Structures are given as C-alpha cells and as structure tokens.
Structure 1
Amino acid sequence: MTLKKVFISNPTVPRVAYKIFENSVEVITSPGIDRESIIKCLSRTKVDALFWAGPFMLDKEIIDAAGQQLKVVCTMSAGYNQIDTSLLKTKGILLGNTPGVSSDAVADTALLLAMAASRRYTEGRRHIEEGTWETFEIQWMLGQDISGSTVGIIGLGSIGQAIAKRLKGFDVAKILYTGHREKPEGKEIGALFVSQETLNTESDFIFLAAPLTNETNQMCNAEFFSKMKKTGIIVNISRGKLIDQAALIRALRDGEIFAAGLDVMDPEPLNKDSELLKLSNIVLTPHIGSATNNTRNAMAELTAKNILRALRGEEMITPVKL
C-alpha cells in the first residue's frame, strides 16, 4: 500500500510529531525554513498534507507547488492569518489549527510583560549598565501597581480567559473585556463586558489577545492611545499588526501612556535599528509566548493528530471552519 505523504515545512518541529506519523504516512521535511527551500522541495514531490510551521504566508505559490492532491493543511499555531484561507476554501482543502494548547504559556508571558513594564524593567536595567543607579533617592523609579488596578482584555478567548484567571491572584479591582458580544465565560470569571471606549478610558492595563483580522488590524492607533490613561500600560501577546507601531512609539516617547510590553511586533524579526529599542518605557520579548518545551510538544502532537485524522476521512480534533 502506498503511504500518503505529509510535508513538514520546518525542520525544527518537535520529534513527537514524527513519532505520531511513524508507519502511518511518508514524511518529507523541508531542508530549510525559507520559502525557496520549501517550494524547491515541494516541486520534487506531490504531497497529501502540509504540516505548516512557517514564519511566512502560506500562499498560492506554495499550495500550487504541493500539488492537486493536497487535501489538508494543519498549522502548528492557534492563529491562521498567515494562511490564505480563501484559497483553501476554493480548492476544498481542509484546515486545522492548535487553539487552546498554548494559552497557559502565552498568558504567563502576558503577565511577565505587564509586571516588567509596570515596574520599569528596561529602564532599570539600563541604569545598572550605565552606572546611574540612584541609591538614596526615595522617589526614584516609581512604577505602577497591578494590585487594585482596572484591567482591560481585548479578546476573551482561551488566552484572554487564562490571563483573567491569573489576574485574580494579583488582587486586581476589576476586569473589563470587549469583543463582538458578551460571553458566558466572562461572567464565570467575574469580568465585565463593556464598550471599547469604556475599556480604553478606564483600564490601567490593557491586554491584546484578539486574532488579527481586517477589523483588528492596527486597531491600536493614535486615537486609541489618546483615550488611554497617561499611567496606562498596553501588553500585546497576539499579533504585531494589531498595533500601529509608529503611533505606539509616539505615545511612549511623548508620555501619552506609561509603558508597553510586546511579545509580538511588526516586522518580525524586529529591525535592530527600530525606534522601539531606543525607548526605556517598553519591554520586548522575541515572540516567545508559546516557547516552552511542553507547549511546543503539545502543539506539534495536536497538529500531527489533526493531519492523520483528516487523511483517514475523520473529523479533525480542532478543525477551522472555512
């Protein structure tokens, strides 16, 4: 019997995926993570499924290179804005993702960024490095308290809910959230559904946990920041394009808001001469929200299982409705 072929786009995918595929499918792995390597490898063989773990757009060129018999694409991520979903729908190709698997790890990163930004971590580190540590100045390096604060969450999905649950341990006064509609999960965790404007104006901390869509693209612009408190802190662990980065830089530089914590930026990798790196009131991490051993292994495992189920004609564990 001829085994179906699965193409893994990234040679650094955890080995657990290969174990799951063992003896069930033929696995072909891209020799590199770049588009050229992927397309060149696909052009030599036609595959039935794509295990997508690439840092760039899965578009018509790559889908065409995979061949007409391509039946399923599964991405090792919760988000799928990096995939041409309209093309998959047109071609009748199934799509799966890994929602919820990374929620705890990403929520931990969100709290790390919030605490570091509120307590001026970057600025403090620079004072140590530059020898400007003030020992006896009582009012030196004062930050913002998360205890007793009002926190706003934009996007109360699995990650937003995990953030809210963690915030309970910090004795915050109030948790607000906004979205298309009120959610029963919000009531369960004691979060209040409010308008976007109310969330902006009342929140001491704002967490971005919404997917990137046409609606959310650059939603955090100059007008958004103008409505925040001057003591406000914004944290983004979703997608870099949710923020108008030039507007954020101006807001931070001019003291329009207190600080920011970003795990995601635009572009990625961030240019080493970016203005963001020159600011002291921002904390940056290189898109490592889900970067723990357990989380990445679980994401790879779910992606592989989704592919096998789809190739057997079964419903995927976590299908995406196109």
Structure 2
Amino acid sequence: MSKIFITRQLPETAIAKLKDSFEVEMWPYEDHPVTREELIKQAEDADALLTMLTETVDEEVFQKAKRLKVVANLAVGFDNIDLEVAKKHDVTVTNTPDVLNETTADLTFALLLATARRIPEAVDYIKDNKWNTWSPFLLAGSDVHHKTLGIVGMGNIGQAVAKRATGFNMNILYHNRSRKKQAEVELGASYVSFDELITQSDFVVCMTPLTDETKDMFDEHVFQKMKKSAIFINSSRGGVVDEEALYQALKNGEIKAAGLDVFKNEPINHEHPLLELDQVVALPHIGSASVDTRMKMVELAVGNIDRVLNGREPLSPVH
C-alpha cells in the first residue's frame, strides 16, 4: 500500500479520502511545523508528501525519498521546493492555485484599508485608555476612494484586488510581465512601466511571485521614487522586499505607511524592526486563512495526491 506523509495536522474529514486507499502518516501538531529530521525520516518510504510552505523539499529530501512520486504543496507558492531536483527524480509537484484567489484579495484589500485608515492604531488608542476627547485630526488617515492603486503582478489575485478597487472608484494602474487586456477592458486598469507605477501610485500593492528576478525588487531606490504619501502593501512573498530599505523609508518619511502579510524570514517575533513603527500594520501570513478556503486547498492537495498515485494526471501540476 502506498504511503502518504502529511507535514501538519489537518482535519480528519479532509483527508478521509486518502485514508480509505492509502497508508497515511501525519505530523500530530497544527501549531508548529514538522522537524527536518522527521520530514526526512518519513520521506524515506513515502510515495507522496503533502507539504506546507514551512518545509524545504530539496536535494537531501529527494535523495532519501526513493519511492516518492508526488509532492503536493498546500499553497499557491512553491519556492520551498526545488523544482529542478524534483524533475530530475521524476517527482510531480503540485500546488493549490485559484481556490484562494478571492479570499486572498479580500485580505489584501482589508490590509490596505486598515493601513490607510490606521485601524490597529485606533483600536490600541481605546484599549490604552487614551480617548479623552474628540479632535479634528485625531488618528486621521488616508482616503482610499478616488486614489491611484498600483498593482505589481496582475495575476488572478491581482485582478481580484483590482475588482474590489473599482468599488472605491480608484484609478487602477498595473505592471506585469505581460499585458492583461481583458482586465484593462473589464476593470479599467492601465498598463504602465514599473517606474511609472511606483511614482504615480498612492497605494502600491505587491502581488508578484518570488523569483530570481523579483527578489528584493522593492529596494531603497524604489521606495525613494514613491510618493511621500504612498502606502505599500505586500501580501505576496516577503522575499520581494528589502526589509531594511523599507524600514529606513518608513522611518525617514520617504513613504507614509506599510501593510504586510508576509516577511522574508517567517515567522517573525515582536523584536522585528518593522514592528517598532506605528505606521506598519503586520499580519502573520493569513492571506488565504478562511475556513472555507483552507478546506478547499486541502481538498485540492488531496485530489492531486490521489490522482498521481492512481496513475492519473494531477489537477494542478506545477510542472
């Protein structure tokens, strides 16, 4: 019987399909990732791995996993998996795209609104018993309506964010490797160069994947070109941002604020420099974290494993 190892505790109802046909081993903890040692040990006789972004699946894992046929990553991203090595070992890699587009767009726009209107600061203001009177500029933030939104990375999630922006009568700019003419027609978005986007936008939203080309693409030179009133939002990958440059840009008033759902090295703790700044709204990588969407992601990952182990094409292969 084929064996599957799942690297984080998942609801039994979500993996029942696998247990009906395969031997399933599962890391028994939901709140912390599998150890490296346990991952390698379990991979040695596994036919499939159901992994999270927290696991690095590299040459060492693939060399040990002689029976491995598929790695199903519970995420849209897959930069935690060495695709070239997977291909060399004839292992299929899958991800969970599309099912989380709308949920991630909801969170991205919520993060934009919370940052612009200083919502977390306002919550803390009351909790800290500072609200003694009304004043005209108390916790005054930035308008969102009728402002210019610049989206870097106009994939499905980027387009879903743009769709939400139309309800706020925003002027939508985007930059992408290729033009999205349907989005231009349906959403009124304008394709511009990267330089045009960062200099003209009131809100710069990063939705690009992490690649060699996008690593640290938001550096000190980029932040210096933005409006001093600009707000930067990142809910894609932390590695696309030079965090020291972002910290300095915020501290020196080169940009106004930042809303971040992702960081270069996750998880971060309370000592992270960006958390010193009141104008930063930080979230613990919860872009797709609704119960409905996470269950759909698990179902897709389970379906991918089931199909590969039964000799069929996966539903969402990475390569």
Residue identity opposite 1:56 in structure 2: E
- Gaps (5+ residues) in structure 2? none
Q: Distance in 2 between matches of 1:36 and 1:223?
A: 41
TM-score, normalised to structure 1, is 0.92
Residue 199 of structure 1 and its aligned partner are, at CA, apart by: 0.5
Aligned match for 1:247, one of 220, 245, 248:
245
Task: State the identity as a percent.
Answer: 40
Where does residue 96 of structure 1 map in the other structure?
A: 94
Equivalent residues in 2 for 1:207-286, closer than 5 Å: 207-286=205-284
Aligned match for 1:195, one of 193, 196, 202:
193
Where does residue 124 of structure 1 map in the other structure?
A: 122
Aligned match for 2:26, one of 9, 25, 29:
29
Where does residue 51 of structure 2 map in the other structure?
A: 52
The secondary structure found in structure 2 opposite 1:22 is helix
Residue 36 of structure 1 and its aligned partner are, at CA, apart by: 2.4
The secondary structure found in structure 1 opposite 2:20 is coil
TM-score, normalised to structure 2, is 0.93
Segment drifting more, 174-183 vs 46-55: 46-55
Segment drifting more, 56-65 vs 103-112: 56-65
Where does residue 75 of structure 2 map in the other structure?
A: 77
Give the aligned length. Answer: 314
The secondary structure found in structure 2 opposite 1:261 is strand
Q: Distance in 2 between matches of 1:54 and 1:207?
A: 22
Q: Distance in 2 between matches of 1:100 and 1:73?
A: 18
Structure 1 stretches (4+) deviating beyond 6 angstroms?
none
Residue identity opposite 1:210 in structure 2: T
User: Deviations along 1:129-172, whole A, 9 cap, x unmatched?
Assistant: 44444634313322111100110111111111111111111221
Equivalent residues in 2 for 1:130-145, closer than 5 Å: 130-133=128-131, 135-145=133-143
Residue identity opposite 1:255 in structure 2: G
Gap change, CA 1:133 and 1:63, over 3 Å in 2: same
Report the aligned-residue RMSD.
1.6
Residue identity opposite 1:316 in structure 2: P
Indicate if the aligned counterparts of 2:43 and 2:49 stay in contact, CA closer than 8 A: no
Residue identity opposite 2:47 in structure 1: D
